């Protein structure tokens, strides 16, 4: 009866897509040369958000589990990076750690948090899973607020960054290029991942968990792996956010952070990687344009936009483009037959 | 204040909060149990109940008749919920269940944004109604009348709701619709209308808990956030779609909160979630939830 949450992805290896991607990459590489420092900051924020939303899509679109708690790894990554650099973690004095060591600590923290919460949350499914993951992210939020002796609570945490390979992170351009490198590599890794057998297994579990179990695939284990991996990428996005902002607050872990990312992913169209990227771009541009005119009405506007997409174009913008390219997915066919 | 008195007054406070949480969570649980929809906009409906109540309270004949606000606000929210169901949710019953989550989440964003736009982000105070001011005292325990009122209303609603579901034709249709929608329709019953009404009942409960909470917590746009989270914790502990579960879950959560805040304030906020994790470990479907109720 129910149609799956996502569409089949289209083959992105076609020539035009390749040309387009390389074009976009070159444009991104040259971008800071033409921008003011404010605009460069904006572009950096955009890249970070893009990684966060695409990592989310790995979970929702490919593994087919709707987590409402993706803000958790995002915030944990940022906080652990900041705390270890500031010497706020137990047994650490400030300046003891190199930047790379702090990154490793943050990644390990994200890994552990994701494994534990994932192992628990995946005992449930569907709606329960959405609620449980939301609750977990909220625990993280509460902890960052309550442990104010360590995290400075609601006042937020200021982070001073050492130079990395001789480059100062106070320079806007350097931060942009660091983000660009991380985001592009992460994106390519995720893209590779969904094409590997691992990605195929995830999609098969999403389409029919029972059958996948019958042919000997342990759904729980694969979904836990997807949950953890997507969390690691969200953690990287969180770290980049900390680097570019040098100031983080517990709000990073609040459920609105997850909610906004979900909205962008759905508007773009989940189940493809370029869809959510497009969704981020569209919402980002809209927000820039509209918030200048009426800042407070922005949430209402984006909410209405999102609801319309959910109701009338569940494939999102990517779905529209795919239909326009005359690629019809199995799901489309099923939906037509059901009607 | 003797230690017994402390324990008793904490218990009473826990009961008052428990009843409030129950009113909220029962609506969440009911809508899920009967329609299979988890309503992420339930917190926004609760917030609307509080705002509508406050508006009526300020406008009623210049005197602020609480009883008028108390009676009208839940029905107003009920009407709005029925419109929401009719024009948005109804079109999504036959697609993936997760789309309904996304839709109701989007609705929550819209409603909350709209109220913030109109009333601003500030917390508006809702004065305790005149008749319920002051407190009762016995044996060293001091307990506000208003909270007593909350306990009584909660108890009345709990019984009424139970009777409605178990003893009326409507409740029967609702429970049948949960089992087999097509069969209910084949018997000549308009299930669409029943669904709209059910979603309205859920909205009624959200609105009622909103106006009940207003004098206790004040009125502000994000007031639904904390409660929807608590609501989720409650239904995960009690079992989604189980009426008994929402009562027990609400009381467990409220008592854990009240005693926790008193005896161990530094870990209190995490205690609730720890409870939830424990339940998940041992009974993923909740204390009274039916295993496999979510298989779709």
Contact with chain B for residue A307, Cβ under 8 A: yes
Furthest-apart CA atoms within chain A: distance in Å: 65
CB B225 within 8 A of CB B44: no
Question: Is pLDDT of A269 > 80?
Answer: yes
Contacts of B98 in chain A (CB under 8 A): 5, 66, 126-127, 130
Each residue's pLDDT tens digit, B247-295:
999 999 999 888 888 888 777 777 888 888 888 778 877 788 765 444 3
**Is A142 within 8 Å of B270 when comparing Cβ atoms?**
yes
Residues B195 and B177: beta-carbon distance below 8 Å: yes
Q: Does B234 touch chain A (CB under 8 A)?
A: no
The reply to whether residue A132 touches residue B101, judged by beta carbons under 8 angstroms, is: no
Question: pLDDT tens across B76-100, in order?
Answer: 999 999 999 999 888 888 777 778 8
Residue B74 or B192, more confident:
B74
Q: Average pLDDT for residues A139-155, to the nearest whole number?
A: 83
Question: What is d(CA A292, CA A45) in angstroms, rounded to the nearest whole number?
Answer: 18
Q: Is residue A104 pLDDT above 90, yes or no?
A: yes
Residue whose structure tokens are 């609307």 = B48
Spell out the alpha helix ranges (H) of chain B. 3-35, 42-59, 66-87, 97-119, 145-167, 169-179, 181-186, 191-217, 223-238, 243-263, 268-282
- Suggest the residue from B33, B109, B119, B257 to mutate for an interface test with chain A (most A CBs closer than 10 A): B109
pLDDT value for B114 = 93
Say if the Cβ atoms of B113 and A310 lie within 8 Å: no
Q: B98 in contact with A at a CB cutoff of 8 Å?
A: yes
**What whole-number distance in Å separates Cα of residue A209 and Cα of residue A214?**
9
Kindly give the residue spans of alpha helices, DSSP state H, lying in chain A: 15-30, 37-57, 71-85, 99-121, 126-146, 148-151, 172-195, 197-207, 209-214, 219-245, 255-268, 274-293, 298-312, 316-324, 330-338
Mean pLDDT confidence for B115-141: 81
Instruction: Return the number of other C-beta atoms located less than 10 Å from residue B177's C-beta.
Output: 20
Asked if B122 reaches chain A (Cβ–Cβ under 8 Å), the answer is no
pTM (predicted TM-score): 0.86
Q: Cβ contacts (< 8 Å) between B280 and chain A: which residues?
A: 120-121, 123-124, 132
A147 touches chain B (CB under 8 A): no
Q: Is the pLDDT of residue A44 over 60?
A: yes
- A143 to B270: CB separation less than 8 angstroms, yes or no: yes
DSSP secondary structure code for residue A158 in this structure: E
pLDDT tens column, A157-205: 888 787 777 777 778 888 899 999 999 999 999 989 988 998 888 888 8
**pLDDT class of A219 with cuts at 50, 70, 90:** confident
Over pLDDT 90: what percentage of chain A?
27
The whole-number pLDDT of residue A328 equals 53
Q: Which residues of B touch A300 (CB under 8 A)?
A: 109-110, 113-114, 117
Contacts of B284 in chain A (CB under 8 A): 123-124, 128
């Amino acid at each position: 009866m129910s149609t799956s949450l996502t569409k089949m992805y289209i083959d992105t290896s076609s020539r035009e897509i390749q040309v387009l991607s390389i074009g976009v990459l070159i444009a991104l590489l040259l971008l800071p040369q033409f921008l003011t420092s404010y605009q460069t900051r904006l572009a950096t924020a955009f890249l970070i958000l893009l990684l966060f939303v695409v990592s989310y899509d790995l979970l929702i679109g490919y593994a087919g589990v709707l987590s409402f708690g993706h803000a958790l790894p995002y915030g944990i990554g940022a906080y652990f990076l900041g705390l270890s650099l500031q010497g706020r973690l137990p047994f650490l004095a400030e300046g003891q750690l190199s930047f790379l060591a702090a990154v490793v600590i943050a990644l390990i923290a994200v890994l552990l948090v994701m494994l534990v919460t994932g192992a628990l949350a995946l005992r449930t499914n569907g709606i329960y899973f959405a609620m449980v993951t939301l609750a977990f992210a909220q625990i993280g939020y509460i902890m960052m607020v309550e442990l104010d002796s360590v995290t400075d609570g609601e006042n937020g945490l200021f982070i001073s960054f050492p130079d990395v390979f001789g480059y100062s992170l106070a320079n806007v351009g350097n931060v942009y290029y660091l983000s660009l490198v991380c985001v592009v590599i992460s994106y390519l890794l995720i893209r590779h991942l969904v094409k590997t057998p691992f990605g195929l297994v995830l999609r098969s579990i999403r389409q029919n968990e029972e059958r996948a179990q019958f042919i000997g695939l342990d759904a729980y284990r694969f979904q836990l792996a997807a949950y953890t991996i997507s969390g690691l990428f969200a953690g990287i996005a969180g770290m980049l956010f900390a680097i570019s902002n040098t100031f983080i607050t517990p709000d990073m872990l609040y459920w609105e952070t997850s909610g906004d990312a979900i909205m962008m992913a759905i508007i773009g169209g989940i189940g493809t990687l370029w869809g959510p990227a497009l969704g981020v771009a569209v919402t980002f541009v809209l927000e820039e344009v509209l918030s200048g005119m009426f800042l407070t009405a922005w949430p209402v506007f984006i909410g209405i936009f999102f609801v319309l997409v959910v109701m009338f174009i569940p494939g999102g913008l990517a779905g529209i483009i795919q239909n326009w390219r005359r690629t019809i997915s199995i799901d489309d066919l099923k939906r037509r037959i059901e009607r | 204040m003797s230690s017994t008195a402390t324990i008793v007054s904490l218990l009473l406070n826990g009961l008052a909060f428990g009843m409030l949480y129950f009113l909220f969570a029962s609506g969440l649980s009911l809508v899920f149990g009967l329609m299979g929809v988890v309503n992420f906009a339930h917190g926004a409906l609760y917030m609307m109940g509080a705002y509508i109540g406050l508006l009526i309270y300020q406008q009623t004949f210049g005197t602020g008749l609480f009883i008028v606000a108390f009676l009208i606000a839940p029905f107003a929210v009920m009407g709005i919920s029925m419109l929401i169901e009719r024009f948005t949710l109804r079109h999504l019953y036959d697609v993936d269940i997760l789309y309904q989550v996304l839709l109701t989440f989007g609705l929550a964003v819209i409603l909350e944004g709209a109220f913030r736009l109109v009333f601003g982000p500030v917390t508006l105070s809702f004065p305790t109604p005149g008749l319920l001011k002051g407190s009762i005292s016995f044996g060293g325990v001091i307990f506000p009348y208003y909270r007593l009122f909350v306990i009584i209303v909660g108890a009345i609603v709990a019984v009424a709701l139970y009777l409605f579901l178990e003893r009326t034709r409507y409740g029967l249709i609702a429970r049948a619709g949960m089992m087999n929608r097509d069969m209910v329709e084949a018997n000549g019953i308009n299930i669409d209308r029943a669904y709209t009404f059910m979603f309205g009942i859920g909205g009624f409960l959200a609105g009622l808990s909103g106006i009940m909470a207003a004098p206790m917590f004040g009125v502000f746009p994000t007031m639904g956030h904390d409660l929807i989270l608590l609501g989720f914790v409650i239904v995960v502990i009690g079992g989604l779609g189980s009426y008994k579960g929402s009562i027990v879950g609400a009381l467990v959560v409220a008592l854990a909160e009240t005693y926790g805040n008193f005896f161990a304030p530094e870990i209190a906020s995490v205690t609730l979630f720890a409870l939830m994790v424990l339940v998940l470990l041992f009974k993923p479907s909740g204390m009274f939830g039916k295993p496999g109720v979510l298989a779709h």
